[in-house]
Amino acid sequence: AQSVTQPDIHITVSEGASLELRCNYSYGATPYLFWYVQSPGQGLQLLLKYFSGDTLVQGIKGFEAEFKRSQSSFNLRKPSVHWSDAAEYFCAVGSGGSYIPTFGRGTSLIVHP
Amino acid sequence: NAGVTQTPKFQVLKTGQSMTLQCAQDMNHNSMYWYRQDPGMGLRLIYYSASEGTTDKGEVPNGYNVSRLNKREFSLRLESAAPSQTSVYFCASREGHNEQFFGPGTRLTVL
C-alpha cells in the first residue's frame, strides 16, 4: 500500500527566507506525485506535479520540487517566502493501479514579518 | 469554467437531521471524490466514484451515502447527522491519474 509522510506538522519562517517542506512516500513503482496548497477557508489548489522526466519540476507561485527516487522523497522548495505563502501544504501520491491518491497529513506554514 | 462547485457553503444541523451536500464539476472528469477534513487529521476519503455509475467506500464511509447522479454531479447524504460529523467537506474531481480539482468546501456543524 502506498503511504505519504510529511514529518513537519508546523514550520515557521521569516518573510524572505528560503523554505523546504519535506515529503516522503512509500510505493513500489514510479509514483505520480503532487503538492497542493490550501489557504485558510479555501479548497486545495495544485502547486505542481511529477509524473516522469525531469526530476526537478516547477510550479506556480515560484515553488519547485525535486523527485529523488533513492530517498523516496519529493520535497517542496521556495527560495524566498512571501507572507501570502502562509497556508497548509499537502503532499500526495497516486499510482497507475488506483483511483485513490494518498495524502500526507499536511504541513502548516507560518510566515513571520 | 466554474470548476468544482459545492452547495451549501455552510450548514448547521441538529443531531438526527438529514441533509444532502451537492457537488458538480464542469470539466467532464470521470472520477469524483468526497473528503472530510478535521484538525490534525488531514483529508480522509469518505466515498469516491471512479466513473459514472460506480461508487465505492473510502476510509470513513459510516454514516454517509452517495449518489453519482450523472457524470457532472456527485452528492453526499447524511441520513441522521451526529456531532462527530461536524467537519469541513470537500468534493474533488479528476481525470485519469492527473491532479484532483477541489471545490471550496462545505462547513458543517452538527449540534
pLDDT tens for residues B28-58? 999 999 999 998 888 999 999 999 999 999 9
DSSP designation for A53? S
Asked if the Cβ–Cβ distance from A99 to B90 is below 8 Å, we say no
DSSP character at residue B73: B
Query: CA A103 to CA B36: how far, in whole Å?
Result: 12
Residue A97 has pLDDT above 80, yes or no: no
Segment B62-79 shows an average pLDDT of: 97
Averaged pLDDT for residues A88-95: 92
Beta carbons of B4 and A103 less than 8 Å apart? no
Classify A50 as helix, strand or coil: strand
A1 pLDDT above the threshold of 80: no
CA-CA distance, B10 to B76, in Å (whole number)?
A: 15
CA distance A79 to chain B (A): 25
Task: Look at residue B39 and give its three-state secondary structure.
Answer: coil
Closest CA–CA distance from residue B10 to any residue of chain A (Å): 11
Cβ atoms of A93 and B99 closer than 8 Å? no
Closest chain A residue by Cα to residue B10 = A41
A 10 A CB-CB count for B104 gives 17
Q: Which residues of B touch A29 (CB under 8 A)?
A: none
User: Helix, strand or coil for residue A47?
Assistant: strand
Residue A8 at interface with chain B, using a CB cutoff of 8 Å: no
E-state strands within B1-111: 4-7, 10-13, 19-25, 31-38, 42-49, 56-57, 64-68, 74-78, 87-94, 101-102, 106-110
Q: Are residues A94 and B97, on separate chains, in Cβ contact within 8 Å?
A: yes
Q: What percent of chain A has pLDDT over 70?
A: 98
Chain B residue with minimal CA distance to A43? B104
Distance linking the first and last C-alpha atoms of chain B? 36
Find the DSSP H helices in chain B: none
| Nearest Cα to Cα of residue B16 among B82, B76, B66, B70 | B82
Cα distance between the two ends of chain A: 41
CA distance linking residue B93 with residue B99, whole number of Å? 9
